Amino acid sequence: MNPRFRRRTGLGAALASPLAFAACGRTPVRPPGHVSRAEIDEAMRTPTELDFWTWVPGIEKQVALFEEAYPAITVDVTNAAQGAGHYAKIRTALRAGRGAPDVAQIEYEMVPAFTITDHLLDLRPYGAGELESQFVDWVWAQVSGKSGEVWAIPQDTGPMGMLYRADIFEEHGIEVPATWEAFAEAARALHEADPEVYLTNFPPSQGAFFAGSLWQAGADPFAGSEGADLRVDVTSDAARRVTEFWAGLAAEGVVSTDPDFSDQWYQAANRGKYATWITAAWGPVFLQSTAASTSGKWRAAPLPQWADGEQVAGNWGGSTNGVFNLTRHPIQAAVFAQFINTDPECTKAMATEQFLFPPTKALLEDPEFTGMELEFYGGQRVNEVFAQISETVSPDFQWPPFNDQVRADYGATVGTAIAEGGDAVAALGDWQDRIAEYAEFQGFTVEEAS
Amino acid sequence: MSTTTAQRETTGASAAPARRRNRPKRSTILTIGMVAAAAYFLLPLLWLVVASTKTTGDLFSTFGLWFAGENNLFTNIANTFKADDGAFGGWLGNSLLYAVASALGGTFLAALGGYGFAKYRFRGNQAMFMLVLGAMAVPSTALAIPTYLLFSQAGLTDTPWAIILPSMASHPFGLYFMRIYADSAVPDSLIESGRIDGAGDFRIFFQVTGRLLTPALATVMLFMLVQTWNNYFLPLIMLNDPDLYPVTVGLANWQGQASSSGGASGDYIPLVVTGSLVSILPLIIAFLFLQRYWTTGLVSGSVKQ
């Protein structure tokens, strides 16, 4: 890797590392043991301005509903960037000790990056502890700390499934594969029958897809990490199985390896180069607007399985709302994060108008949501398919405290090896080494699997 | 040496027959290399122009480097300026303000500093200049965070100053370039004669020697204009108020909306593409306009001594 790049990311991460303290600005809120109803009511009647940084399009709708319910509170929405830019902006402001938002959009995989620096407010005392029963178990596990802290309120999720071209399947007599083994056979048969078509595309630089695949296979590479102790095992049998599977198909040339969400990939999806897209619950609506020319030809199905007869899925994407402990208005901020993600009207609008796939049990069972028939999928009730998949996601998957670095290293090692026909299993070892090296450099105690 | 190059340039341009005689000196490999380089730089531009004429549907279903059946360029441009209550026009205005203010201020500072380093002997001249050279090696992205901390202390974040002030000062290349240029373009004798005539240092700089620096000023200004116009990271972390966003942050924001997992994202894709095209036009215009000063300046400067 380019040494300058490493140095720069090293610097950025050092700023966010556990050893860096906010030297100036506000002091963090220490969450009280319990906040009474009366205190909450009083705070919600006090005129307050909240800063909320998010990238969710149309979130103004939920904000308006909140402001209607609590007229004393004004919420200023800042939508500056998504992903890396968003987090860089937040980290800088947190480091400065002022200028950070009260509430922010945070992906599940980034929650540990903000708990390790001790910047998230435990929302339990503000009523979040009682919300557990409203959310799907595995989702709640994603935002829960080791001692039951609630670090953020889930907003949307991405249980993984498979979108497939029913017309291509029919033309070549392919059954929807129930196992990955059947999937591999179908990939070979299809590509032989029509060399222009691939059963699917493996996106080599899409670390989130790979993480979701590990999740489905039962690999939990960072399980047991806590605080400054990091456990890493990306070379487990399950991880190896996933890697060998995709590397094998790519080497045979029966799946393509185009970078996803690129011009080339959009074109290919419209042209019918890929017969399936292994994606997540947000995929169906996304595809609908970007591959409009293929309307009516797609269907949704659960992922193929590693063991016959099983039903297990991973998750790819989705996000939460967290409250930073530098906030001056912890009660109002916490109530806001809870309100927009649990109020029935707010969440219904998110699911049916903004097309965010819901994490709440109520919506996943709501016939108005699951019964939506999408023309793009030949009138199939796609939400129902993904709602069922959501029940099969394993609750055991832990994210590392520096997921962006882990992603970058994945692309440079395993992703590249699969795309270029290198030794992908050896690349898993490289990935492991890089993660361990980086973690040690950042002051973590690393425990590697033998 | 530079004199002869310059002369060959001037004669070569006006005397085509002379050039024809030189034909055997042409290198095929070099020509192919240059054509490849030109294609490498121009193809993305062509893609951008072509893509700006397409609807979202055509964008993803027709060949990228050629036009689709219908031309939607003007609809796209109109939509770009209309979307989000005309936010795009505001972003362009902000970018223009930041870029022009930083370029003017930065060029002025670089001229003063470079001239000072080149023409005055004082204690620490060399050491300070080395410091400037060293600063050139620090990527400005790495400085953005410390800069934020400073501005946050001063309460200047989320204001236009947070972009203009650092952009004015954070391009040591300008200072370096001005020093090198002033060193060769401003003869010491000119300064001495100014002093003999009784002019003060500032008067000499503004009325006599400063004018010799015009070509370098144009170069540095262009450089700073481009840098500030294209700067993404600094405004991203400094600004929260959408009314202050420059076009880079605004377009990235739209792109986020377009690729966001949520709903009707298709609408934003042509806006991002067309907006990108529109956002580079001011730079192209600035280049064409300032380049004149630049090339003629270099020639006249080199002939002078």
Query: What ranges do the domains of chain A cover?
Result: 11-157+317-359, 158-315+397-448
Place of tokens 């020319």: A293
| Residue of higher predicted confidence among B287 and A5 | B287
Distance CA A163, CA A380 (A): 12
Tell whether the model's pLDDT for residue A126 goes beyond 90: yes
| Residue among B55, B60, B254 with most chain A CBs within 10 A, to mutate | B60
Q: Which of A291, A292, A354 sits opposite B263 (nearest CB)?
A: A354
Look at residue A168 and tell me whether its pLDDT is greater than 80.
yes
When pLDDT is cut at 50, 70 and 90, the band that residue A25 belongs to is low
Residues A62 and A337 sit within 8 Å (Cβ to Cβ): no
Residue with tokens 């080339």: A264
Tell me the C-alpha to C-alpha distance, in Å, between residue B291 and each of A91, B14, B98, B189, B218.
40, 19, 21, 29, 8
pLDDT band at A19 (very low <50, low <70, confident <90, very high): very low
Q: Which is more confidently placed, B15 or A91?
A: A91
Q: How many helices (H) and strands (E) in chain B?
A: 16, 0
Measured over the CA atoms of residue A190, residue A191, residue A195 and residue A196, the dihedral's sign is positive
Instruction: Assess A176–B contact: CB distance below 8 Å, yes or no.
Output: no
Say which range, A1-10, A236-245, A379-388, has the weakest mean pLDDT. Answer: A1-10
Select from A342, A314, A396, A319 the least CA-distant residue to A135: A342
At A195 the pLDDT is 95
Is A347 buried (19+), middle (13-18) or exposed (0-12) by CB count in 10 A?
A: buried
C-alpha distances (whole Å) from A314 to each of A151, A277, A302, A393, B288 are 21, 15, 11, 5, 54
Residues A420-448: tens digit of each pLDDT: 989 999 999 999 999 999 999 999 999 98
3-state SS, one letter per residue, for B93-120: HHHHHHHHHHHHHHHHHHHHHHHHHHHC
Contact A220, A398 (CB under 8 A): yes
Taking an 8 Å cut-off on Cβ atoms, the answer to whether A57 and B265 are in contact is yes
Q: Where are the domains of chain B?
A: 1-51, 71-304
- A93: three-class secondary structure by DSSP: helix
Selection from A14, A25, A109, A63 nearest residue A325 by Cα: A25
Chain B interface includes A372 (CB < 8 A): no
Distance of CA B298 to the CA centre of its chain: 18
User: What's the rounded mean pLDDT across residues A118-132?
Assistant: 94
Which among A269, A289, A356 is the nearest to B264, CB-wise? Answer: A289
Is the pLDDT reported for residue A267 higher than 60? yes
Mean pLDDT along residues A132-146: 95
Tell me the three state secondary structure of residue A251.
Answer: helix
pLDDT given for residue B260 in this prediction: 65
- Computed over every residue of chain A, the mean pLDDT equals 91
Higher-pLDDT residue of A400 and B131 is: A400
> When comparing pLDDT for A358 and B12, which is higher?
A358
- The encoded tokens of residue A304 equal 């193929």
DSSP conformation class of B233 = H
Block residue for tokens 């290919």: A268
* Domain A11-157+317-359 indexed as CATH 3.10.20.310: no
Look at the block and give the residue holding tokens 């004199």.
B3
Residues 6+ apart with CB under 8 A from A413: A427, A428, A430, A431, A434
For the segment A317-330, the average pLDDT, to the nearest whole number, is 95
Mean pLDDT of chain B: 82
Distance CA A164, CA A198 (A): 12
Distances (CA, A) of A60 to A67, A77, A256, A295, A349: 10, 8, 40, 30, 11
Residue A380 is predicted with a pLDDT of 96
Separation of first and last alpha carbons in chain B:
11
pLDDT (tens digit, 9 = 90+) per residue, B33-59? 999 999 999 999 999 999 888 887 777
Mutate to test the interface with B, among A55, A290, A294 (most CBs of B within 10 A): A290
The yes-or-no answer to whether A11-157+317-359 and A158-315+397-448 have a common fold is yes
Task: Tell me which chain B residue has its CA closest to the CA of residue A273.
Answer: B61
End-to-end CA distance of chain A: 26
Q: In whole angstroms, give the CA distance from residue B76 to residue A299.
A: 32
**Mean of the pLDDT values across residues A61-67?**
96
Report CA-CA distances (Å) from A397 to A83, A106, A143, B57, B66: 21, 17, 11, 38, 46
Q: Please give the CATH architecture assigned to the domain spanning B71-304.
A: Orthogonal Bundle (1.10)
Burial of A436 (0-12, 13-18, 19+ CB in 10 A): middle
Phi, psi (rounded to 5 degrees) for B221: -65, -45
What span, in angstroms and rounded, lies between the C-alpha atoms of A26 and A94? 10
A381, amino acid identity? R
Is A324 within 8 Å of A101 (Cβ atoms)? yes
Which chain B residues are closer than 8 Å to A80 by Cβ? 236, 239-240, 245, 249, 253
Q: Which of A5-14, A334-343, A384-393 has the lowest mean pLDDT?
A: A5-14
pLDDT tier at B141, thresholds 50, 70, 90: confident
Question: DSSP letter at A88?
Answer: H
pLDDT at A59: 92
Chain B residues in contact with A8 (beta carbon < 8 A): 139, 141-142
Cβ-count burial of B175 within 10 angstroms (0-12 exposed, 13-18 middle, 19+ buried)?
A: buried
| Dist CA A388 CA A407 (whole Å) | 29
CB contact under 8 A, A57 and B262: yes
Rounded to the nearest 5 degrees, what angle is found at the Cα of A231, between the Cα atoms of A229 and A237?
175
Q: Which residues of A touch B159 (CB under 8 A)?
A: none
Using CB atoms, which residue from B60, B148, B233 is nearest to A290?
B60
Pick the closest to residue B239 from B252, B227, B226 (CA basis): B252
DSSP string, A365-382: T-HHHHTPPBGGGTTB-H
Average pLDDT over residues A262-271: 88
What is the torsional sign of CA B135, B140, B141, B146?
positive
Q: Does A34 touch chain B (CB under 8 A)?
A: no
User: Percentage of residues in chain A with pLDDT exceeding 70?
Assistant: 94
Looking at chain A from residue 235 to 264, which residues have their Cβ under 8 Å from any Cβ of chain B? 261, 263
Rounded distance, CA A99 to CA A395, Å?
35
Q: Give the model's confidence band at B294: pLDDT under 50 very low, under 70 low, under 90 confident, else very high.
A: low
Q: A158-315+397-448, superfamily in CATH?
A: Periplasmic binding protein-like II (3.40.190.10)
Residue in A275, A258, A248, A269 with CA at minimum distance from that of residue A191: A275
Contacts of B71 (CB under 8 A, 6+ apart): B53
pLDDT in tens, B12-23: 444 444 445 555
Measure A89 CA to nearest chain B CA, in Å. Answer: 5
A368 vs A6, more confident? A368
How far lies B232's CA from each of A214, B157, B163, B171, in Å?
A: 34, 15, 10, 15
Q: For chain B, how long is the longest CA-to-CA vector?
A: 74
Contact: A57, B266; criterion CB under 8 Å: no
Taking the C-alpha atoms of residue A248 and residue A423, their distance in angstroms, rounded to an integer, is: 10
What is residue B21's predicted lDDT score, i.e. its pLDDT? 53
Helix-strand-coil split of chain B, %, nearest 5 = 80, 0, 20
Q: Please give the pLDDT value at position B70.
A: 79
Q: Answer with the residue of higher pLDDT: A52 or B67.
A: A52
Q: What is the pLDDT, as a whole number, of residue A288?
A: 87
Q: Please say if the pLDDT value at position A381 is more than 50.
A: yes
Q: Considering CB atoms only, which of A95, A293, A356 is closest to B262?
A: A356
Residue A84 pLDDT level (bands cut at 50, 70, 90): confident
B168, exposed or middle or buried, with CB in 10 Å at 0-12, 13-18, 19+?
buried
Residue A9 confidence (pLDDT) above 70: no
Which residue carries 């994060």 as its tokens? A337
Closest CA to A319 of A209, A159, A155, A206: A155
Phi-psi region of A173 (alpha: psi -120 to 50; beta: other; left: phi over 0): left
pLDDT greater than 50 at residue A41? yes
Contact (Cβ atoms closer than 8 angstroms) between residue A320 and residue A244? no
